């Protein structure tokens, strides 16, 4: 029996290695590393690469973050200069951390897509911002964060607004805490598709419970066409859906796995010795409890990093508060 | 939204850390480690612990394997001596590597369950051996290995035979290569349940593509009640479904996660520095290709251990032969 793999032309893969990975190192990736990633995903035929956040220097200090928190046009240009590519470039923009002026008209930018990340409570702001980006000529998405914590009726209302009032092409389900199971994914993708009749649905999964890839597959099965992944799963905390696994599942002949395997061996195996991400017990625990990984990140930076039982007890006590 | 977790009284969890982990180190676990695992799974309320293989010393040399390849009664007794436990003990017995005489009558053994592992082609032998063990008073299972490579009609026939001719209580789906996707799992559990009307269905998953836990959940959803897992996923190659994640999913109040978290910190984090298992690219590749991990194991023991592209090309060439 061969695997039931998937080929659907509308499927788009977005690599967000540098963007989500930047949450581990405050976006201080060196230019050469970003170039290598861009080269690998371009050679692999990945549809989009998200190179970082577009943030406002008036809202965030340039001293506190690396350049990929801001993605100034010249920095992007330097990183991609001379590399042949059909991969489109994306930046993420967090509601509250950027202003419309940070997004120039498309013809003054190397960026192809702007992804507005927002909590449900900020959906009005997100719609205003994403419409501005769409009107400036960008492809756009709205990424609905922390869907696992949202009250169902508020989510429904936000999705109705997105359908009716926004110009975004895609709306993403973001499993920020890596807490969703397949049944939740089925429910959410069905809901998103039902309400967002004129939009595509995307999935951004976290790997706290080793379910990021599985949940991405379940999303595909239910009709999601925009899929986030990162090389070797690099990303904050437990990381993301590994791009190499996802490419093994997708049968589209435009994809080539080899450049991704090559860069894993060359860059990501050594990087893993210096930066921590992946299946680590405290992240599994926050996933089980459907909580933000921040307490696990703090634990891993402390001398108590492997004191799992007391961490678990603290989470239990908080839940019962 | 909280996870759709599962409580079903019939569900039994079997820890096979020592048995499957023994495939990495030729079954040379020290007594103290085995005792610690037994203590942890007992305190955690795990239903069964598989302590190793029961093999025949006339078929396998005692010089080439550690004691947990044979599970002599006195060795087991020494390992569990004085530890309070309600956890039942299991041994695995491979068709062709043990004889009926290796299984004494139940009243002369501390073992509760004998699991006969067999390929579909050996199903007649498996039925003969499992019936002998059942008649001697043991709980029994038949574990159908490499189901992902079996011709469907031959699998159907083997399952019909197991239903009609065997006294086994449980029949396991064994995803030996970690190549199955959720749709395969749904198909297989449905088939096993349809044919094996008087038996329970079990699942033993491998984690090559980070799907072991996800596939175990999918099996539960479709009605499998016997679930294999290992602490921190320890097991040959990519390892198994992590027990700690599975316990986080199962809502049965008899389970206690803390002893498992404790032993991971104390024993498994240090062990991982000395023994290799888990998400490693060559195992992901053999999983994608639905192949035995032996070529990946050989690669990892060679100086070329991180040469993923040439390994992938070799797998591609073999597939196209």
Interval B22-40: pLDDT, tens: 999 999 999 999 999 999 9
Q: How many contacts (CB atoms, under 8 Å) link A and B?
A: 139
pLDDT bracket for residue B2 (50, 70, 90): very low
CA atoms within 13 A on the CB side of A283: 24
Kindly provide the b/e burial profile for residues B83-119, where b requires at least 16 CB atoms within 10 angstroms of the residue's own CB: eeeebbbbbbbbbbbbeeebbeebeebbbbbbbbbbb
Q: What is the mean pLDDT of chain B?
A: 96
- The DSSP string of A45-71 is T-SEEEEEE---TTTS-TTTS-GGGT-
- Contact between chains at B3 and A184 (C-beta distance less than 8 A): yes
pLDDT bracket for residue B1 (50, 70, 90): very low
Residue B171 has pLDDT above 80, yes or no: yes
Q: What pLDDT, in 10s, does the model give residues B54-78?
A: 999 999 999 999 999 999 999 999 9
User: What is chain A's pLDDT, residue by residue, as a tens digit (321 residues)?
Assistant: 444 567 888 999 999 999 999 999 999 999 999 999 999 999 999 999 999 999 999 999 999 999 999 999 999 999 999 999 999 999 999 999 999 999 999 999 999 999 999 999 999 999 999 999 999 999 999 999 999 999 999 999 999 999 999 999 999 999 999 999 999 999 999 999 999 999 999 999 999 999 999 999 999 999 999 999 999 999 999 999 999 999 999 988 899 999 999 999 999 999 999 999 999 999 999 999 999 999 999 999 999 999 999 999 999 998 777
8 Å CB contact between B162 and B142: yes
Q: For chain B, which residues make up each domain, given as ranges? A: 12-274, 281-320
The DSSP code for B317 is H
User: Percent of chain A at pLDDT above 90?
Assistant: 95
Q: What pLDDT, in 10s, does the model give residues A101-141?
A: 999 999 999 999 999 999 999 999 999 999 999 999 999 99
Write down the architecture of domain B12-274 according to CATH: Alpha-Beta Barrel (3.20)
- Contact between chains at B261 and A312 (C-beta distance less than 8 A): yes
Of B147, B182, B213, the CB nearest to A210: B213
- Its sign, for the CA torsion B115, B121, B125, B128, is positive
- Contact between chains at A149 and B212 (C-beta distance less than 8 A): no
Q: Is B148 an 8 Å CB contact of chain A?
A: yes
Alpha helices in chain A (DSSP H): 17-21, 31-44, 73-80, 123-135, 152-165, 182-195, 212-222, 243-249, 258-263, 269-274, 281-288, 294-300, 308-320
Local structure of A234: helix, strand or coil: coil
Of A245, A257, A308, the CB nearest to B264: A308
Tokens of A191: 């809901």
Instruction: Determine the pLDDT at residue A241.
Output: 98
ipTM of the complex: 0.96
Instruction: Determine the pLDDT at residue B319.
Output: 79
Query: CA of B318, closest CA in chain A: separation in Å?
Result: 16
* Chain A residues near residue B221 by CB distance under 8 angstroms: 182-183
Residue B184 has pLDDT above 50, yes or no: yes
Backbone angles phi, psi at B118, to 5 degrees: -150, 145
Instruction: Determine the pLDDT at residue B5.
Output: 65
Query: Alpha-carbon distance A148 to A184, whole Å?
Result: 9
Segment 15-74 of chain B within 8 Å of chain A by CB: none
- Its sign, for the CA torsion A291, A292, A296, A299, is negative
Tokens of B267: 């024993």
Instruction: Determine the pLDDT at residue A4.
Output: 56
* Chain A residues near residue B183 by CB distance under 8 angstroms: 4, 221
Residue B261 has pLDDT above 80, yes or no: yes
Query: Alpha-carbon distance A182 to A218, whole Å?
Result: 6
Query: Alpha-carbon distance B130 to B125, whole Å?
Result: 9
Measured from the Cβ of residue A41, the count of other Cβ atoms closer than 10 Å reads 26
8 Å CB contact between A279 and A207: yes
| Residue in B closest to A312 by C-alpha | B258
Nearest to A236 by CA among A186, A198, A286: A286
Q: Is B194 an 8 Å CB contact of chain A?
A: no
Instruction: Determine the pLDDT at residue B3.
Output: 45
| Residue in B closest to A240 by C-alpha | B210
Instruction: Determine the pLDDT at residue B4.
Output: 56
The DSSP code for A121 is G
B204 DSSP β-pair partners: B174
Q: What pLDDT, in 10s, does the model give residues B210-256?
A: 999 999 999 999 999 999 999 999 999 999 999 999 999 998 889 99
Q: Is B221 an 8 Å CB contact of chain A?
A: yes
Instruction: Determine the pLDDT at residue B183.
Output: 96
Query: Interior CA angle at A194 toward A211 and A180, to 5°?
Result: 15
Of B245, B279, B308, the CB nearest to A209: B245
| Residue in B closest to A181 by C-alpha | B3
Backbone angles phi, psi at A257, to 5 degrees: -75, -25
Query: CA of A72, closest CA in chain B: separation in Å?
Result: 34
Instruction: Determine the pLDDT at residue A13.
Output: 98
Segment 242-281 of chain A within 8 Å of chain B by CB: 242, 244-245, 248-249, 257-258, 261-262, 264-265, 269, 278-279, 281
CB proximity list for A185: less than 8 A, separation 6 or greater: A173, A175, A203, A215, A218, A219, A222
| Residue in A closest to B1 by C-alpha | A148
Alpha helices in chain B (DSSP H): 17-21, 31-44, 73-80, 123-135, 152-165, 182-195, 212-222, 243-249, 258-263, 269-274, 281-288, 294-300, 308-320
Instruction: Determine the pLDDT at residue A5.
Output: 65
8 Å CB contact between B156 and B191: yes
């Amino acid at each position: 029996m061969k695997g039931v793999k998937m080929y659907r032309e509308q499927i788009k893969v977005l690599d967000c290695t540098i963007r989500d990975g930047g949450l581990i190192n405050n976006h201080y990736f060196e230019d050469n590393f970003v170039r290598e990633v861009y080269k690998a995903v371009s050679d692999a035929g990945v549809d989009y690469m998200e190179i970082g956040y577009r943030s406002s220097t008036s809202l965030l200090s340039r001293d506190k973050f690396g350049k990929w928190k801001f993605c100034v046009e010249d920095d992007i240009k330097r990183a991609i200069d001379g590399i042949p590519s059909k991969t489109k470039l994306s930046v993420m923009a967090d509601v509250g951390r950027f202003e419309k002026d940070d997004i120039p008209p498309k013809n003054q930018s190397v960026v192809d897509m702007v992804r507005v990340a927002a909590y449900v409570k900020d959906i009005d702001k997100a719609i205003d911002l994403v419409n501005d980006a769409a009107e400036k000529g960008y492809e756009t998405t709205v990424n609905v964060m922390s869907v696992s914590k949202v009250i169902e009726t508020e989510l429904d209302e936000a999705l109705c607004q997105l359908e009716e009032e926004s110009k975004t092409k895609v709306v993403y389900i973001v499993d920020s805490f890596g807490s969703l199971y397949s049944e939740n994914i089925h429910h959410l993708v069905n809901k998103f598709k039902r309400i967002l009749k004129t939009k595509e649905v995307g999935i951004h999964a976290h790997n706290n419970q080793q379910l990021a890839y599985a949940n991405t597959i379940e999303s595909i099965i239910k009709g999601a066409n925009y899929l986030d992944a990162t090389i070797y799963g690099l990303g904050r905390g437990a990381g993301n859906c590994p791009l190499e696994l996802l490419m093994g599942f997708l049968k589209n002949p435009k994809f080539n796995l080899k450049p991704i395997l090559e860069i894993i061996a060359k860059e990501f195996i050594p990087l893993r010795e210096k930066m921590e991400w992946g299946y680590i017990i405290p992240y599994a625990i926050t996933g089980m409890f459907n909580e933000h990984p921040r307490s696990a990140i703090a634990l891993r930076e402390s001398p108590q990093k492997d004191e799992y039982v007391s961490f678990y007890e603290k989470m239990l006590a908080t839940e019962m508060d």
